[in-house]
Structure 1
C-alpha cells in the first residue's frame, strides 16, 4: 500500500502520462511508454487451448502457445517468434522456395535431358571411327550431304562438346539426323548384334551417338506439377500464419489451404499420365480429364462450411487419400503398356515411394500422433501437423525426381 489503507483507487489516463489518485492524497504518476509496453506484452501473450474462440479450436492435444485474434502486423511479425505454428509456417515456406528454385533450374539448366554418364567413352570411339566411310555411305543414299570438311568440323566439335558437356551448338545434330534417316535399319536396336560393324563404326558408338538426336517434348505437364506444388506449399504456410487473425480470415485461408492440397494431388498426376500415354491420346486425355474433374470437385467440396470442422478431420484426410489412390489405375496401365521399358519400373518405384510418404502424412494428420499420446509435450515441435508438412515436401520432391526420369525417357526415345 502507499500511504496507508486504501478504500478507493481511481485511474485517469492522459496523452502523456497516467495518474493514480489515492484516498490519502498521494498521487502516483506513471510514464505512458512504460505502461504501454506492459500493455502490449499482456495483450499479445500466447494463450492456452481452453482460452481460444471456437473457430481456432482444432487440436485439443496441443494445449498451449496459441495466438488468438492478433492484429495483422503482429501476426506477420510472429513468423519470427516461437509459438505452436512457427514450424508449420516455415516447413512449407522453405519447401516453397525449394520448388521455386527447382522450377527455375529445370527451365534454365535442363532444356534437354541427356545421360552424360553414358558418354564417358565417346571421345575414344570418335577417334577410332572412320568418318570417311560414314561419309561414303551417306553419299550413296543422299548426294546432297555436305562435303567432308563439314564432317571433320563435326568431329572436332563433338570432341569439344564431350569435354565441356555442352551439346547445344553442335552442327553435327544435322549429321546425326541424316544418319538416322539414311540408315534406319542400322540404327534400329532390334537388328543389333554384338560383333556387327557398320562401315567401320561399332554399334557401341551408334548406340551412344544416336540418342543425341534429341527432340525435346513439351514440358507443360512437368511445370504444371511444379506450379501445383508451389501453390500448395505457399497456401499452407500463409494459412498457418494468418488464420489466427479473425474468424473471417481463418475461413478464407482454410479453404485456400484445402484447394492447394487438391491442386498438388491433381497436378502430380500430369507428368506420369501425359508422358506414359503421350502416344495413346485416348487414355492420356481420359486419365488427365478424370483427375482434373476430381480435383475441381474436391476443391468445391472443401468450400462447404462444415468441411473445416474438427470432427471432419478424418473425412478430409480420407478424401485427399482417395484422390491420391485413384492414381493406381494409370500406374498399372503404364506397367502393362511399357513392360519392356526399364524407365517404367524406375518411375513406378518413385511413385510408390511418393504414395507412401503422402499416405503416411495423411495417416499422421488424421490420428494426431504423437501429441495424442502425450498432450502438451509436442506443442512447439514434433506434433502431427509438422510431421505431415515434412512428409508432403519429401513426397513432392520424390515426384520431381520421378518427373526428370520421364523427361529423359521421352526426350531420348519419343513414342
Structure 2
C-alpha cells in the first residue's frame, strides 16, 4: 500500500511539474533576456576594470567588456564615447573628401589667371601656352639670358617669368613684321624660340609635385580613423584596448610628422640640404615617438601629462623651419600667408593638448559632462580644426610653387 501510495504521489508531482514546465521555460527565457539587457547596461566609473579607468571626473555611462558585436553596434547608441567616435569619424570622411577633391583638381598646366600681370599680357600668355612645345632638354640659361637682353634691353622692365613669354611671342610675329630680314637673322631667332620654349615648358607649364601634400592628407586620415576606432573598440577587452591605444598614439605621431612635409618641402625644395635635414629630423622624431608609445607604462592615466607633452614637443619642433622660411622668404607674401595658417594650426593643437592634459571642464563639475562636452571631445574638435587649417596652408604652398617654381629662391 505504501509503495502504491508513494507511486501515486510521485505521479501527481510529475503531473504538476509537467503542467508548470512551460511557465518555467518562459520564465527562463525572460530571465535570459533580462540578464542580457542588464549585462549591456552602461556602468559607473567605480565598476570598471582597472585598464578602462582613465578619467575619474567622468563618472558614468561607460561600456565595460562588451562582446564585439555589441561594441560595433554601440556606434549608434548614446554613451560617454559616442561623440569621441563621431567627431573623428566625421573628420576622417571630411579629409577623405578633400583628398579626392584635391587629386581631381591637379592642374594640367599652371593657372595664369593667378599671376599679377596686365590683361593683355595674360592673353598673350594663354596664346603662348597653347602653342609651346614640350622639349626634352634645357638650354644654357645664362647664355640665353644674355642673348635676350642684347636683343631687347627694355624687356628687363617685366618680371622674369613674363620676359620669356613676351620674347617668344615677339618671335612668333617676327616673320611677318620683319619679312625684310635676312635668312640668318630668322634662323637665329628660330633657335632662340626653341631655347625659350625648352626653358618654359618643363618649368612653368607643369604643376609641382603633390606627394608631400598627399602625405599630410594620408597622415590626417590615418590619425582620425585610428582614434575613432580606438574609442569604439577599447571597451571590449584588455588586449584589444592595448592594441587600440598603440594605434591611436601612432596616428597622432603620424599626423604631426606628416604635417611638416608640405611646409618643409615646398619652402626648401630649392635648398635640398635643409629640405632633407628638416624632413629627416621630423620623420625620425615621429618614429621615436611611436616606439616610446609602445611601452605599456605609456598608457597609464598618471602619464597623461607626459603623453601630451611629448606630442606637444613634436609640434614645437616645427618652429625652426618656419622661422627659417620667414627669413629666407621675408619679401614673399606667400611666406607670411602660410605662416599665419601654421600659427593658427599650432594654437588649435596647443589648446587641444592643454585641455586634454588638464581635463577641463569635467574636473570642475564631475559627472556633468559625461555624455557631451568633456575634454577629450573638445580635443578632438580642435584637432580636426587644426588639420583643416593646415590643409588651407598647403593649398597656398601649391599655388605658390606651381607659379614660381624655384625662381627668386
TM bin, normalised by shorter chain, reads 0.7 to 0.9
- The residue aligned with 2:313 is 322
Deviations 1:90-109 (A, max 9, x none): 00011111111111111112
2: CA distance, partners of 1:111 / 1:248: 47
Tell whether 2:286 aligns with 1:295. Answer: yes
- The residue aligned with 1:192 is 158
- The residue aligned with 1:36 is 32
- The residue aligned with 2:130 is 171
Out of 42, 47, 50, which is 2:43 matched to? Answer: 47
Summarize the alignment of residues 13-412 of structure 1 with structure 2, pairs less than 5 Å apart. 30-31=26-27, 33-111=29-107, 118=114, 155=127, 171-174=130-133, 191-192=157-158, 213-412=204-403
Query: How far 1:393 moved relative to its partner?
Result: 0.4
Assess if the C-alpha contact under 8 Å between 1:113 and 1:407 holds in 2.
Answer: no
1: CA distance, partners of 2:262 / 2:401: 11
Deviations 1:55-78 (A, max 9, x none): 000000100000000000000000
Query: How far 1:38 moved relative to its partner?
Result: 1.9
Query: How far 1:120 moved relative to its partner?
Result: 11
Q: Secondary structure at the match of 2:353?
A: helix
Structure 2 unaligned residues grouped into runs of 5+: 1-17, 171-199
2: CA distance, partners of 1:263 / 1:125: 45
Higher strand share: 1
Q: Secondary structure at the match of 2:26?
A: strand
Query: How far 1:254 moved relative to its partner?
Result: 0.2
Query: How far 1:172 moved relative to its partner?
Result: 3.1
1: CA distance, partners of 2:266 / 2:216: 13
Assess if the C-alpha contact under 8 Å between 2:106 and 2:207 holds in 1.
Answer: no
- The residue aligned with 2:3 is none
Query: How far 1:173 moved relative to its partner?
Result: 4.2
Deviations 1:18-42 (A, max 9, x none): 9989xxxxx7663555433322211
* Distance of aligned partners of 1:36 and 1:253 in 2 relative to their CA distance in 1, 3 Å threshold: same
* Distance of aligned partners of 1:77 and 1:303 in 2 relative to their CA distance in 1, 3 Å threshold: same
Compare CA radii of gyration and give the structure with the larger one.
Answer: 2
- The residue aligned with 1:206 is none
Task: Say which is worse superposed, 183-192 or 228-237, in terms of deviation.
Answer: 183-192
* Distance of aligned partners of 1:331 and 1:119 in 2 relative to their CA distance in 1, 3 Å threshold: closer
Assess if the C-alpha contact under 8 Å between 1:93 and 1:233 holds in 2.
Answer: yes
Q: Secondary structure at the match of 2:330?
A: coil
Assess if the C-alpha contact under 8 Å between 2:110 and 2:206 holds in 1.
Answer: no
* Distance of aligned partners of 1:90 and 1:116 in 2 relative to their CA distance in 1, 3 Å threshold: farther
Assess if the C-alpha contact under 8 Å between 1:47 and 1:66 holds in 2.
Answer: yes
Tell whether 2:372 aligns with 1:413. Answer: no
2: CA distance, partners of 1:121 / 1:33: 81
Task: Say which is worse superposed, 306-315 or 217-226, in terms of deviation.
Answer: 217-226
Assess if the C-alpha contact under 8 Å between 1:307 and 1:316 holds in 2.
Answer: yes
Assess if the C-alpha contact under 8 Å between 2:204 and 2:402 holds in 1.
Answer: no
1: CA distance, partners of 2:62 / 2:340: 41
Higher helix share: 2
2: CA distance, partners of 1:113 / 1:356: 35
* Distance of aligned partners of 1:184 and 1:324 in 2 relative to their CA distance in 1, 3 Å threshold: farther
Q: Secondary structure at the match of 1:30?
A: helix
